[in-house]
Amino acid sequence: MTSPTDTQGSVTAVYKVSGMSCGHCEGAVSGEISEIPGVSSVKAIASTGEVTVVSAAPLDEAAVRAAVDEAGFELVGKA
């Protein structure tokens, strides 16, 4: 059984990140999260603070938090 956010064996999760204000911020967050094993795409939107991540399996939130921290921002939690 798959949920509505699952497509072709992938999982989509949306996270809230504080501190992003521009395209450079989006790129920094996207770049760090995309290095997590299993991540196939990342879309960060500074204006909303939302980061949409598509991965092969659900991600460990601690790994996402560490990636966001490495980029210099704060993971608020799942949106």
Note the pLDDT of residue 72. 98
* DSSP helix/strand/coil, 26: helix
Inside any domain, residue 46: yes
Q: How many CB atoms lie within 10 A of CB 65?
A: 16
The count of domains in the chain is 1
Inside any domain, residue 58: yes
Could you tell me the residue range of the domain that residue 49 belongs to?
Answer: 20-78
Note the pLDDT of residue 3. 46
Token reading at 44: 């960060």
pTM: 0.87
Token reading at 28: 């920094």
pLDDT tens string, the chain, 79 residues long: the values are 444 444 567 999 999 999 999 999 999 999 999 999 999 999 999 999 999 999 999 999 999 999 999 999 999 999 8
Inside any domain, residue 35: yes
Any idea what the CATH number is for the domain that residue 58 is in? 3.30.70.100
Note the pLDDT of residue 2. 42
Note the pLDDT of residue 78. 93
Inside any domain, residue 13: no
